[in-house]
A and B are shown apart, each in its own frame.
Chain A
């Protein structure tokens, strides 16, 4: 019973990280129509930047700024990518879009390797510093709760922006119908840039948040990209609700899998994805495809 609680909480933790990164991916996809294959690399870079910042600020109260700073930097990189590269290929066949972001993914991940080296960077000090809390008689790290709370806040903030502000309305209009939005005078290219900023920042913050719990290391870019994609496949593209449910599902499977069946935990995730693909190709909450 105690173990069960632990697994569930771990599941919520993974789900939080996943939710942040996959909502970034689905945001960019549903608004700009681009699957940003470099999204995982941005996550990894965010992790490394946060790790380095935390390490250097560890003895000051400013260490906590590492997270928003990392998010901001990654967001800015997202803007650079969009303005510098992606904007040229919006009108082209999707093959070139995928090719471009794939190339950017390779470039970004290698730049990360060159800059930060091949050794993982740990910031366990911060993790421990956050403390332990007693849950049903067994200790559980406070940090994980903080991450869940932050995710909740960010999720709420996103919901507020998307549904209660004018900017959000404009973004949603672009997602629904780009041509129509242009026709009524919306500056869609600025909307795309903003979306890339937001989506990339989400990738950055999720990478940053995961570092204290595990580490900043090479290879997490591919895993993050694949997992966030699986979340979107299961939950359905363009649906924040779907990303939420999908993240929860994958997060819980991961938590229980790692603990109970470490050998096939990965396979279970893929099996679920394969099952969803076969039965409901549009995902659980996906919207009808425009011309893809």
Chain B
């Protein structure tokens, strides 16, 4: 009885949440439009990230790389090569991120967890260094400014049309959530969870573990690339710090904040994180210090995250009813 009541309210919560998201622009503040666009972008990033962390059990410290690749691809296509059609640009950006995700994932995914984490970090830093070295092409520490894109004749600009850009982001967010949910509940998704729980048994029932870890990595990179691609026009700018390991820490924290063992955990975590970050950055000049401290506290005291802890508590109570 308790669990069923839970299911109903779960769906209700989702609908309410969706309605709130649709209603954000009605509040009439372009700052809020911007903030929530950013929150949804981080949600897409966190969703993709959690394929690896929550569902396959792999911890990556270098996911800023695929986000950054998505952002830089958009920036370069639009600004350097004057190629502005929105959907093709987005598509190419996702492809580029996925391509590098495939290569790096191949090198990393066959390794034991501790090596894996540092390897992902190393490759992200490689991109960071390359961005500076190849400054003729990438703009070096200045980054690349992104102006507007073109969607069948309509100008896509987050500055000129924040409401329009918000709804665009919302659409991609919904696509990501729906596709993500299907993947997670597919046979492949279950296989990933089996790998997470018991790689030995997973292999013993015929799952090629290393190969599937690689696939999970590729999918994760694709979502991260999409997030980065939506990010560049929003902020108006792609910059090297996206590849720095501290930026990768943000998606890790957002995911854990919400709870990495629940599907919507990362989404909620990302939204809360973005809002919190905007307030913290406005008041304090020590963002890495704050982020680092929050990571330390989470590691020590809140392994399940906010949503995760609620979920665990409810489950305990639910399974105690006869």
Contact = CB atoms under 8 A, between A and B. Distances in A.
Nearest to A29: B114
**Chain B contact residues: over half helix, strand or loop, or mixed?**
helix
A98 B129 contact: no
B49 to A, nearest CB: 13
A85 B113 contact: no
Interface in A97-145: 97-100, 102-111, 113-114
B288 interface: yes
A266 B126 contact: yes
A281 B111 contact: yes
B61 A98 contact: yes
Interface stretch (A55-63, A177-185, A269-277): A269-277
Most B Cβ at <10 Å: residue of A92, A102, A226, A229:
A102
A230 B122 contact: yes
Given A103-B295, A103-B299, A94 B288 contact: no
A153 interface: no
B291 A273 contact: no
Most B Cβ at <10 Å: residue of A113, A225, A226, A278:
A226
Place the interface of chain A in its size category: 35 or more
B126 A100 contact: no
Interface in A164-178: none
B125 A94 contact: no
Contacts of A35: 114, 117-118
Interface in A225-279: 225-226, 229-230, 233, 263, 266-267, 270, 273-274, 277-278
Contacts of B15: none
Contacts of A266: 126, 129-130, 133
Contacts of A29: 114
Given A106-B288, A223-B125, A226-B121, 12 more contacts: A35-B117, A99-B252, A102-B292, A103-B293, A104-B296, A105-B292, A110-B287, A222-B125, A222-B244, A222-B245, A270-B123, A277-B119
20 contacts: A29-B114, A37-B61, A85-B300, A95-B57, A99-B298, A102-B245, A103-B249, A103-B295, A103-B296, A106-B288, A110-B286, A222-B244, A226-B122, A226-B125, A229-B122, A266-B126, A266-B133, A267-B126, A270-B126, A277-B107
Interface of B: 53, 57, 59, 61, 107, 110-115, 117-119, 121-123, 125-126, 128-130, 133, 244-246, 249, 252, 256, 286-289, 291-300, 303
